[in-house]
Structure 1
Amino acid sequence: MTQATLLGQILDHANRADPYPLYAELRKTPVYREEDGNTYVVSNYWEIKGLLHDPRISSDARNLSPEAAGALADQEEEGGNLPPTFLKLDPPEHDRLRRMTMRPFGPPKTPRRVHNMRGELSKIVSDLIDGFGDREQVDLVDNFSYPFPVTVICRLLGIPRDDEARFHTWADTIAASLDPDPSKDPTERRRIAQQARTELGMYLAGLIDERRKAPGDDMLSALATDHGPDGQMTPMEVISTAALLLIAGHETTVNLITNGMLTLLRNPDVLKRLREEPQLAVPLVEELLRFEPPVQLLPQRTTLADIEVAGTTIPKGASLWLVLASGNRDPKRFPDPDRFDPDRKDNQHLGLGSGIHNCFGAPLARMEAQLALTELARRLDNPRLVEDPPPYRQNAVLRGPRHLNIAFDGFRA
């Protein structure tokens, strides 16, 4: 195994089920240069943490080299004519849009929006589990992990109940574009995904216009009508932000819940503890975010200046990859890092990022995972894996099972 081939092996779907031995190999050289000469991969905890807080690192695709921009375009679908979301911007534009989005989502202006959804989220979880009916085997992804966060985003934004099915269809289509099937025509895939984005954008534009005229207490109304210190979002910025909440909020939570249930079924003693001690859900989800993070790596960042990291100078204009999941298993930061331990102390993981681009929806994702895993543990009698490892998605960044078939002996009282 050579260093020059490690990133390629990590991206190879054949290694998706267990990339952690590759990460361990990667950490032997905290910063290494890929064979293209312009890509640098950082894999150790403290180095990643420092770079996530370094203003000399850019997330704006406009700063990428032509080669890196072309590679990124091959990995990501075009966003149509929408402006970039704050995830793909640097300060000061990033800070302005993030502040404007945060006002109707959390503190200090709206501190209880997520907390006040707890009862509704619990009902969604219960209804989805009830929907398993009298089956003794289900695909947890299709029947639970996928529909749950999309329904939550619909309720958060204030999508009318009659339109939720259409919203689910758009979400499924766009999500599929992030996890392409190599056997299918890429041109047709891009066309279908772009059509879904266009339809979603047109739908949101109409809904935003309605909310400007007659606002409700939902987040979309707040985004459309709020006048804060930074002014008011343009209609296009509101559409772009709402689409971000749909895609980012959906994809990470699907993986967090699915990876979580897979890990619990591989650790039946912890599953039993969660059933008997529901308060364990809080530290358990934090350990899941360390042990099996839904976002494995952050590709295609750009250096705005020469930066020295662990004795290596990364030149200005380089393409930088930060392997968060590798940092989470760094033995210099976490004792016995390959052991799943919900009682782990000082668990300052990188599972939701760090710095200015730390996960915007972290409070909601945490609550969704805590409620979902606790209820699955409580309700399902003798749950077990049908196959291990399960089939994984193609996407190396948003790593998680595409299907998770589990068998169980009915429901607990």
Structure 2
Amino acid sequence: MTNSTLLRQIIDYGSRADPYPLYAELRRTPVLQDGDDLFVVSTYWEIKSLLHDPRLSSDTRNLSPSASGTLLEEQEDSPLPPAFLRLDPPEHDRLRRMTMRPFGPPETPRRVHNMRGELARIVAGLVDGFAGRGQADIVDDFAYPFPVTVICRLLGVPRADEARFHSWADIIAAGLDPDPRGDPGERFRVTRQARTELGLYLNGLLDERAAAPGDDMLSALVTGDGPDGRMTRPEVLSTAALLLIAGHETTVNLITNGTLTLLRHPEVLDRLREDPGLAVPVVEELLRFEPPVQLLPQRTTLADIDIAGTTIPRGAGVWLVLASGNRDPRRFPDPDRFDPDRKDIQHLGFGSGIHTCFGAPLARLEAQLALTELATRLDGPRLVADPPPYRQNAVLRGPRHLEVAFDGLRRP
């Protein structure tokens, strides 16, 4: 199989249900070159090294036209500046610090911890809604509404507006998919329109918060001053859009992948039902075994980088296949086995380095509470279809629907 053929198979929708055998083949060449200026890195230590290497840029404005396709055009014509996730230091560091002030330590150290009781009430209420049904779609009925409700409350976005921003978020998230099918020009047009409409919507909310601040992150971002000063309005808009979309898209996958994995491993499900404390190692192993973000495309080199016997030249595009690194047998013994008792679990599920997932503490807590609630409340849960239908997106991989049948609900 040629390099190009292997890469096309990995991003092809037909491989979405189980890409891991293809990842194993990919790891035979830790740094695989596809064409003149795209390099795919698939092994744990090489991925981690690059995530900590300042010569690897996350700023898509540094991509060459041949490595980026229509992405450069999209960035140049975007109604919003790049969010900090797509920036390099020092811009990245400044914006991330400013965003962290109302979210976590050191300025707001207990924000996530203090949400635990509210999060538990939300998941309990969602499972209560299963009563008398005998079957539920874990995605539509549970894994999606839970983190959406949470991020809306955290940001100060009206939950009633979910139907509006849901379609925009879906379109923007789909723009991350490297699958080249379809008309690139139409995809660019639709994505840009969604960005514009989301930006206008958020701008209206920011006007309201500037006039009457509340106890939410939008208010803090638009009015807050600190050592780095105050964000510009375009910076606040980009940051708010990033938090709104990333704050639920990946967590939906984490909870859904987790439910699917537990139902495929009933012995672990039984243990979690008896011991809710097992939720912490279960979620960490899930982040290794079935990470919600499979790969990071759209990185580029600012200088020649020698790694694993290959020189990636300056200006080349780089893909980091996190899910493959998480199954690297050089790093994790018996990597294809789901084992919540695994002792050494420094996975790449949230990335690593300066771009480690900003919302990781909240996503961890949401997944722990959600999976524990399902394990303790559902009586006789079982999959209706295995494998379930998956989302198109090769980057944000997870089931589009996950139908689960059950015999009834246990009391909380």
Structure-2-length-normalised TM-score: 0.94
1:204 paired with 2:199, answer no
Counterpart AA for 2:14: A
Query: Unaligned stretches of 5+ in structure 1?
Result: none
Pairing partner for 1:405 from 386, 400, 403: 403
Tell me the CA shift for residue 206 of structure 1: 2.3
Deviates more, 1:96-105 or 1:214-223: 214-223
1:64 paired with 2:63, answer yes
Does the CA contact (< 8 Å) of 1:284 and 1:342 recur in 2?
yes
CA distance in 1, matches of 2:239, 2:134: 40
CA distance in 1, matches of 2:191, 2:83: 18
Tell me the CA shift for residue 80 of structure 1: 4.0
1:175 paired with 2:173, answer no
CA distance in 1, matches of 2:112, 2:361: 7
Deviates more, 1:295-304 or 1:118-127: 118-127
Task: Report the secondary structure of 1:135's partner residue.
Answer: coil
CA distance in 2, matches of 1:224, 1:79: 24
Does the CA contact (< 8 Å) of 2:61 and 2:75 recur in 1?
no
1:349 paired with 2:347, answer yes
The 5 Å alignment of 1:43-192 reads 43-70=42-69, 72=71, 80-159=78-157, 163-179=158-174
CA distance in 1, matches of 2:116, 2:184: 40
User: 2:361 maps to what in 1?
Assistant: 363
Task: Report the secondary structure of 2:24's partner residue.
Answer: helix
CA-to-aligned-CA distance 1:102-134 (integer Å, 9 cap, x gap): 111100000011111111111111121122231
Counterpart AA for 1:174: A
Counterpart AA for 1:63: N
CA-to-aligned-CA distance 1:278-318 (integer Å, 9 cap, x gap): 00000110000000000000112101111100111111111
User: 2:18 maps to what in 1?
Assistant: 18
CA distance in 1, matches of 2:386, 2:359: 30
Pairing partner for 1:256 from 254, 257, 273: 254
Residues 286/310 of structure 1: CA separation in 2 closer, same or farther (3 Å cut): same
Residues 295/88 of structure 1: CA separation in 2 closer, same or farther (3 Å cut): same
Does the CA contact (< 8 Å) of 2:273 and 2:375 recur in 1?
yes
User: 2:214 maps to what in 1?
Assistant: 216
User: 1:39 maps to what in 2?
Assistant: 38
Task: Report the secondary structure of 1:399's partner residue.
Answer: coil
Tell me the CA shift for residue 406 of structure 1: 0.7
Task: Report the secondary structure of 2:319's partner residue.
Answer: strand
CA-to-aligned-CA distance 1:355-381 (integer Å, 9 cap, x gap): 011100000100110010000111111
1:322 paired with 2:320, answer yes
Does the CA contact (< 8 Å) of 1:147 and 1:168 recur in 2?
no
Does the CA contact (< 8 Å) of 1:171 and 1:246 recur in 2?
no
CA-to-aligned-CA distance 1:162-205 (integer Å, 9 cap, x gap): x3121343124421453489999887776665554434322322
Deviates more, 1:197-206 or 1:39-48: 197-206
CA distance in 1, matches of 2:165, 2:182: 19
Task: Report the secondary structure of 1:321's partner residue.
Answer: strand
Counterpart AA for 1:14: G
Tell me the CA shift for residue 81 of structure 1: 1.0
Does the CA contact (< 8 Å) of 2:78 and 2:192 recur in 1?
yes
User: 1:312 maps to what in 2?
Assistant: 310
Deviates more, 1:198-207 or 1:290-299: 198-207
CA distance in 1, matches of 2:260, 2:72: 32
Residues 190/60 of structure 1: CA separation in 2 closer, same or farther (3 Å cut): closer
Does the CA contact (< 8 Å) of 1:146 and 1:254 recur in 2?
yes
Counterpart AA for 1:42: V
Does the CA contact (< 8 Å) of 2:102 and 2:108 recur in 1?
yes
Counterpart AA for 1:166: D
Deviates more, 1:245-254 or 1:188-197: 188-197
CA distance in 2, matches of 1:254, 1:270: 21
Deviates more, 1:240-249 or 1:45-54: 240-249
CA distance in 1, matches of 2:182, 2:14: 18
Deviates more, 1:244-253 or 1:283-292: 244-253
CA distance in 2, matches of 1:199, 1:38: 34
Query: Unaligned stretches of 5+ in structure 2?
Result: none
Give the count of matched residue pairs: 408
Does the CA contact (< 8 Å) of 1:150 and 1:171 recur in 2?
no
The 5 Å alignment of 1:295-310 reads 295-310=293-308
The 5 Å alignment of 1:373-392 reads 373-392=371-390
Counterpart AA for 2:245: I
Residues 30/186 of structure 1: CA separation in 2 closer, same or farther (3 Å cut): closer
CA-to-aligned-CA distance 1:228-250 (integer Å, 9 cap, x gap): 11100112211211110111111
Residues 332/186 of structure 1: CA separation in 2 closer, same or farther (3 Å cut): closer
Counterpart AA for 2:335: P
CA distance in 2, matches of 1:66, 1:193: 19
CA distance in 1, matches of 2:86, 2:160: 29
Does the CA contact (< 8 Å) of 1:391 and 1:402 recur in 2?
yes
Does the CA contact (< 8 Å) of 1:177 and 1:190 recur in 2?
no
User: 2:265 maps to what in 1?
Assistant: 267
Does the CA contact (< 8 Å) of 1:177 and 1:189 recur in 2?
no
CA-to-aligned-CA distance 1:213-261 (integer Å, 9 cap, x gap): 3222211111111111110011221121111011111111010000000
CA distance in 1, matches of 2:166, 2:151: 10
CA distance in 2, matches of 1:78, 1:306: 26
Does the CA contact (< 8 Å) of 2:65 and 2:72 recur in 1?
no
Task: Report the secondary structure of 2:337's partner residue.
Answer: coil
User: 1:293 maps to what in 2?
Assistant: 291
